[in-house]
Amino acid sequence: MENIASKQWILDFKKRYALYKIGQALLFAIAIAVFVSTILNQFFAFNFLLTFALSGFGAFVLVYAINNKSFGLAAFASYLNQRFPELEESTQLILTPNQSLTFLQQLQAKKVAETLVTLPQPNDGVKKLKSGFLILLLSILISFGVQFLPNQFPLSKLSGTTSAKAKTVIDKILPQIKTVKVVINSPVYTQIDQEIQSQFTLNLVSGSAVIWELETNTSVQNLKLIFNNQEVLALQPIDTEKTKWKVTKSIKKSGFYQVSLDGELSDLYQIEAKADLPISIKILKPTESQTVIDFGQPQKVDFQAELSDDFGIQNAFISATITSGRGEGVSFKEQNIAFKQPIKGKSVTLKQNIDLRSLGMKPGDELYFYVKAKDNFGQESRSDIYSVAIQDTSELMSLTGLASGVNLVPEYFRSQRQIIIDTEKLLKEKSTISEQDFKNRSNNLGLDQKLLRLRYGKFLGEESETYGSEGEVEEHSADDGHDHGSSENAKFGDVQAIIDKYAHNHDNLEEGTFFEPKLKAQLKATLAEMWNSELRLRTFKTQEALPFAYKALRLLKDLQQSSRAYVAKTVVKTTPIKAEKRLTGELDKITSPNKQKDFEADEAKNAQLKSALNALAKLREKQILASADKSALQSAKGLLIEAASQNPTSYLAALKAMNQTKKLSLKEIDLVENALQKLIKPLQSLPQAKNKMAAGSLSESYFQNLKNAN
């Protein structure tokens, strides 16, 4: 009971300290909010009050959470121990129940409690308020200075409008123009809201309708817009005083323009018209352009594609063509496959499971398909063509083509075919024979498959059975009865192993073949399929062995056909001969085709540009220009006007520099020189004599003497 007064002393101090911390966090939050809202308002045109409220609340929560991670009585007890040495590091004993303390601890707690109530409560929290006020004052001073910085980072389109404050600094406007209002109505398919700006520089979508509304300080007689120094568009007055003018134009391509006010020309303003891009189509599945469905595999195709467009996708479908038959009897069937999922937005991932049976395909048929899509502008795009073929087992089992062309050991090829025939026969007779007889015959077929696999393995340099399950190399185990020895002992002192590591050895399995890498890889795949077939035959899973046997047969047939070259039959359609003009001998209508290119025009332009570069070099050296130099600069200016109308981003700044009446600075001269250098076209390479080495003169003299002797 003696510790009640001391505990109340600690609680009172804790409340005061908490209020000081809250005040400090509030001052810090206001300082952060002032700085952040000023930056966002000055450079990005955000609403000051809204950003101040949001950033202030977030900053207060963050600062308060950081400063008050440990705000309990135990933390205050530790703080008091450090603040007052008189407490003898025992303040925590006051907060501990007496029944939990020993007799000596109770005596110490009583002593500390009596000492604590006599101590004055510290005013350390006032320092926190002072630091908060200093931070707030510093933030206000910095924010006030930010207001005088030039606005160099304007953002476009906030809430459907463009900030006039962020962009008025860019354009140089004639002093007679009081206000500028430019309304940009993008095409309907873009779904972009109307944009309003107070500057002349335009960044829009091709086909946008632009409305210029200008107000002048005084009455004006003539106000025009000049596009690319060619097209002139006159503004119409909308009031009797002729101080308000308006005009509308559709912008379809990039370029530049300027304002003509009673004959006085303004600066050049850039027009950046962004064209609508076609839909980007990326096929994710199937991963390969050609797919073969072997015997036993599901006759379905998993299709997946990613479509993206800059303004939106209108529709998309799969255009499929099915081919059936062979030779002259090939028939084609075209149809469109619609996607089941809706197509909306600018990006969509389409998935479709194409059932080949539902399309009417049968073994031997092939499916050719591609994705065709249309965007909101009406542009159509299509992907690459992919093909899917269903393997025809009857065609695969035929012996057509074995008698001609280059055969890859045809007797082995027929043996694989015979294994399939015997396997299908065994499956048909399964119900009429005993189980033991079925297993014996299945095992015998597995042995035949093994012998055939080993024969083909010799073509890869294999001298023994090396293929394991799924075509992997078999590995011995420690309990197989063989003495393998220690791997470390085998490597230690093995000179041959070291030589084999660095030598170019032709006697190993990988290098001892006469096949090309592609054929070797296909032959390895064939051996893997044979192994899978053998495994299932010898484990009496005869039905499961057939797909692997058929795939091995198809790979073997592809190997056989790979050495042949096929030339497609072509039909040439000639113009019908008129009998009345035959053998008349009139050749006046027959002319040889000519391809002409005006090299002289390119050379003349290059000469003008080089003369202008020479004049700029004189300006750099502060020399007086002659009339020829001034004429060269004027000609180069015309070429820059033509280039800026097509690519204003690269050439408009240089053209602005040349339009100035004052002398060009060194920086502006560099800008114009770089632009003119880009306009110079590379020279046509001319035939030249080859450079000959001095050592060849003796041989030339020898052959020349031989020629003269003859």
Enter the tokens of residue 696.
């060849």
Distances (CA, A) of 121 to 6, 13, 78: 12, 7, 15
**Taking 60 as the threshold, does the pLDDT of residue 656 lie above it?**
yes
Classify residue 551 as exposed, middle or buried by CB count within 10 Å of its CB (0-12, 13-18, 19+).
buried
- Give the chain's mean pLDDT: 75
Q: Is 80 exceeded by the pLDDT of residue 219?
A: yes
pLDDT tens digits for 621-639?
888 888 888 888 888 888 8
Assigned token pair, 217:
């300080």
Residue 183's contacts (CB-CB under 8 Å, 6 or more residues apart) are 194, 195, 196, 210, 211, 213
The answer, yes or no, to whether residue 511 has pLDDT greater than 60, is: no
Per mean pLDDT, which range of 431-445, 514-528, 627-641 is the poorest? 514-528
Helix (H) or strand (E) holding 122: none
Predicted pLDDT at 122: 66
Stretch 1-8: mean pLDDT, rounded?
62
Separation of alpha carbons 206 and 186, rounded Å: 8
239 vs 588, more confident? 239
Mean pLDDT of 556-560: 73
Return the half-sphere exposure (C-beta side, CA atoms, 13 A cut-off) of residue 200: 21
Residues 334-387: tens digit of each pLDDT: 888 888 888 888 888 888 888 888 888 888 888 888 899 998 888 888 888 888
> What does the block give as tokens for 401?
């083509």
pLDDT bucket at 164, cuts 50 / 70 / 90 = very low
271 touches 240 (CB < 8 A): no
| 300-308, strands of its sheet edge to edge | 280-285, 300-308, 347-355
Domains 164-274 and 280-391 are alike in CATH topology: yes
Which pairing describes strands 223-227 and 177-185: parallel, antiparallel, or unpaired? unpaired
In whole angstroms, give the CA distance from residue 44 to residue 283.
40
Q: Which fold has domain 280-391?
A: Immunoglobulin-like (2.60.40)
Distance CA 558, CA 413 (A): 11
Please report the pLDDT score of residue 693 as a whole number: 55
Task: Flag whether pLDDT at 161 surpasses 50.
Answer: no
Percent of the chain beyond pLDDT 90? 5
Look at residue 480 and tell me whether its pLDDT is greater than 60: no
- pLDDT of the residue at 642: 85
Per-state percent for the chain, helix, strand, coil, to nearest 5? 45, 20, 35
In the chain, how many H helices and how many E strands?
18, 20
CA atoms within 13 A on the CB side of 679: 32
Residue 46 in 3-state DSSP?
coil
Judged on CB neighbours under 10 Å (0-12, 13-18, 19+), 181 is: middle
pLDDT confidence tier of residue 212, bands split at 50, 70 and 90: very high
Q: Which residues, 6+ apart, have CB-to-CB distance to 13 below 8 Å?
A: 76, 80, 121, 122
Mean pLDDT, range 681-688, rounded to an integer: 64
Q: Which helix (H) or strand (E) holds 322?
A: strand 313-324
Taking the CB of residue 47, how many other CB atoms lie within 10 A of it?
14
Task: Answer yes or no: is pLDDT of 198 > 80.
Answer: yes
Q: Is 235 exposed, middle or buried (0-12, 13-18, 19+ CB in 10 A)?
A: buried
Residue 106: CB atoms within 10 A of its CB come to 17
> Which long-range contacts (C-beta less than 8 Å, at least 24 apart) are formed by 440-443?
442/537, 442/538, 442/540, 442/542, 443/537, 443/538, 443/540
Q: What are phi and psi of 202, to 5 degrees?
A: -115, 135
Q: 227 is written with which tokens? A: 């596009």
- Residues written for the chain: 710
Q: What phi-psi label fits residue 666: left (phi over 0), alpha (psi between -120 and 50 degrees) or beta?
A: alpha
Going by their DSSP bridges, the two strands 300-308 and 331-338 should be labelled as unpaired
Q: What is the pLDDT of residue 658?
A: 82
Q: Is the pLDDT of residue 467 over 60?
A: no
Where is average pLDDT lowest: 51-55, 332-336, 561-565, 566-570? 566-570
In 200-280, which ranges are continuous DSSP H helix?
Answer: none
For 596-611, the pLDDT digits (tens) are: 555 566 777 888 888 8
Report the alpha-carbon distance of residue 107 to residue 110 in Å, rounded.
5
C-beta separation of 444 from 419 below 8 A: no
Bigger pLDDT: 514 vs 93: 93
Tokens of 256: 């530049």
SS3 state of residue 69? coil
Q: What is the pLDDT of residue 398?
A: 59
CA distance 417 to 397: 6
Q: What confidence category does residue 185 fall into, taking pLDDT thresholds of 50, 70 and 90? A: very high
- pLDDT at 474 exceeding the cut of 70: no
Return the sign of the alpha-carbon dihedral for residues 194, 195, 201, 205: negative
| CATH class label, 164-274 | mainly beta
**Number of C-alpha atoms within 13 angstroms, CB side, residue 596?**
6
250 band by pLDDT with thresholds 50, 70 and 90:
very high
Contact at 8 Å (CB) between 556 and 416? yes
d(CA 57, CA 240): 53
When pLDDT is cut at 50, 70 and 90, the band that residue 669 belongs to is: confident
Nearest Cα residue to 340 out of 292, 297, 369, 303: 303
What's residue 481's pLDDT? 44
Three-class secondary structure of residue 287 per DSSP: coil
Percent of the chain's residues with pLDDT above 70:
71
The predicted model scores a pTM of 0.50
Which tokens sit at 230? 């060619």
Using alpha carbons only, give the angle 388, 389, 392 rounded to the nearest 5 degrees: 165
- Indicate if the pLDDT at residue 153 is higher than 60: no
Give the mean model confidence (pLDDT) for residues 125-142: 76
Q: Return the domain boundaries, the chain.
A: 4-146, 164-274, 280-391, 395-473+504-561, 603-679
Rounded mean pLDDT of 523-552?
84
Tokens found for residue 569: 């039959």
What pLDDT does 149 receive? 61
Confidence check: pLDDT of 277 > 80: yes
Report how far residue 3's alpha carbon sits from residue 9's, in angstroms, rounded to the nearest whole number. Answer: 10
Q: Is 689 helix (H, G, I), strand (E, B) or coil?
A: coil
Residue 101 DSSP SS3: coil
Token readout for 676 is 């003119």
Tokens 């200075």 — which residue?
145
* Pairwise pLDDT comparison (289 vs 321), residue with the higher score: 321
Cβ partners under 8 Å of residue 37, min gap 6: 46, 48, 49, 51, 52, 55
Biggest CA-to-CA distance, the chain: 140
Q: How many CB atoms lie within 10 A of CB 316?
A: 22
- Judge whether 355 and 299 are in contact, CB under 8 Å: yes
Give the residues across from 203 on adjacent strands: 272
